[in-house]
């Protein structure tokens, strides 16, 4: 589907500026406060049905471990070249050690990864199987997590670490998946930074006064309490969300409808989706949007310029299965292709 010609013309004029901003990603210093999750993918070949129960027996072939949840936002920032610090909890377990090792290999500062011996590392294990001549399919997912909040002592320790780091970073990202890291003390500490980007699944008002929120459409609908199903309700939702959160800007991501960026002046910008056809998996795409957008802002980009970079980065990762990341080189290549005649969006 073709992108509006006026937007493409604006994007074409923006291209040199976008390249310049992407080149500055490596200068950014970002603290991510988030719910740290380990995503595990166990894959094997289905051999037969078990005699013990009517279940499949899978001969294990591979195990892949990648950062998920708020940890995916951390990892996206690192692969985009930023200098990243992480604040959150992991359990005293193998999964927490695995996540720490992944981060350290990516040169992420893990000093703020505090060990909570009373709660396990949030882990989502997806078990997939395939026959000899069939595609691999997910069969079951096993989640490990605790519904209990961290102890007050741990909450205050994390908040203290956040406050200590504020003067060393250019931005703070709050990646809230509802797993207990972002309690009131942590939120209060994070909001003391002048550039705070919030990505939360619910309770947006807890972060009142943050610079920018990035809810997706279902999250925005939950926050305002009504369906966003027309241009009128979309505009109303943007206004209501700005009032609810007292944010400087509100970015609603809308899947294949692109993004809508709302300003306190009552105006808003629509950014169309850059990839509506080669979409294989949207898992973690929101984390990618937040990462690239944050780096655009720290590089000196406007909200519109930075949102376009977030949109561009997301258009790349949705082409891959599972939680994925992208790089500055891939973003530049994708932008060049988007503006080429071969892309198909110019027809």
Instruction: Report the distance separating Cα 107 and Cα 101, nearest Å.
Output: 10
Which one from 35, 116, 199, 287 is the annotated catalytic residue?
A: 287
For residue 133, give both structure tokens: 């001549």
* 86 backbone dihedrals φ, ψ, rounded to 5°: -120, 140
User: Is residue 176 among the annotated active site residues?
Assistant: no
Map tokens 């002046």 to a residue: 265
SS3 151: coil
Q: How far apart are CA 47 and CA 346, in angstroms?
A: 49
The residue whose two tokens read 């997706």 is: 216
Reported in sequence order, the residue ranges of the chain that DSSP labels E, i.e. its strands, are 29-34, 36-49, 56-69, 83-90, 109-115, 122-130, 137-144, 171-176, 196-200, 212-213, 249-253, 259-262, 268-271
Say if CB 215 and CB 252 are below 8 A apart: yes
What is the distance, to the nearest Å, from the Cα of residue 145 to the centroid of all Cα atoms in its chain? 20
Active-site residues, by number, are: 287
């Amino acid at each position: 589907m073709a992108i509006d010609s006026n937007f493409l013309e604006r994007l074409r004029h923006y291209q040199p500026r976008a390249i310049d901003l992407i080149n500055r990603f490596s200068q950014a210093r970002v603290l991510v406060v988030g719910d740290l999750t380990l995503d595990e993918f166990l894959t094997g070949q289905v051999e037969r049905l078990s005699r013990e129960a009517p279940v499949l027996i899978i001969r294990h072939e591979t195990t892949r471990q990648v950062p998920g949840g708020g940890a995916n936002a951390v990892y996206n920032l690192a692969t985009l070249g930023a200098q990243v610090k992480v604040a959150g909890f992991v359990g005293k377990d193998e999964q927490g050690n695995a996540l720490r090792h992944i981060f350290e290999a990516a040169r992420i500062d893990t000093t703020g990864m505090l060990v909570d011996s009373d709660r396990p590392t949030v882990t989502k294990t997806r078990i997939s199987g395939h026959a000899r001549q069939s595609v691999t399919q997910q069969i079951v997912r096993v989640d490990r997590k605790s519904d209990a909040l961290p102890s007050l002592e741990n909450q205050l320790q994390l908040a203290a670490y956040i406050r200590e780091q504020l003067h060393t970073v250019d931005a703070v990202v709050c990646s809230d998946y509802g797993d207990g890291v972002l309690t009131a003390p942590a939120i209060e500490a994070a909001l003391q930074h002048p550039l705070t980007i919030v990505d939360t699944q619910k309770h947006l008002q807890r972060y009142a006064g943050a610079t920018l929120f990035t809810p997706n459409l279902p999250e925005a609908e939950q926050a305002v309490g009504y369906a966003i199903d027309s241009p009128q309700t979309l505009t109303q939702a943007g206004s209501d969300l700005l009032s609810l959160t007292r944010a400087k800007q509100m970015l609603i991501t809308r899947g294949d409808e692109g993004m809508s960026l709302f300003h306190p002046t009552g105006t808003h910008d629509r950014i169309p989706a850059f990839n509506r056809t080669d979409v294989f998996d949207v898992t973690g795409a929101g984390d990618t949007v937040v990462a690239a957008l944050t780096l655009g802002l720290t590089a000196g980009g406007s909200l519109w310029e930075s949102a376009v970079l977030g949109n561009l980065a997301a258009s790349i990762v949705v082409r891959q299965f599972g939680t994925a990341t992208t790089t500055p080189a891939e973003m530049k290549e994708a932008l060049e292709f988007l503006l080429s005649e071969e892309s198909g969006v110019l027809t």
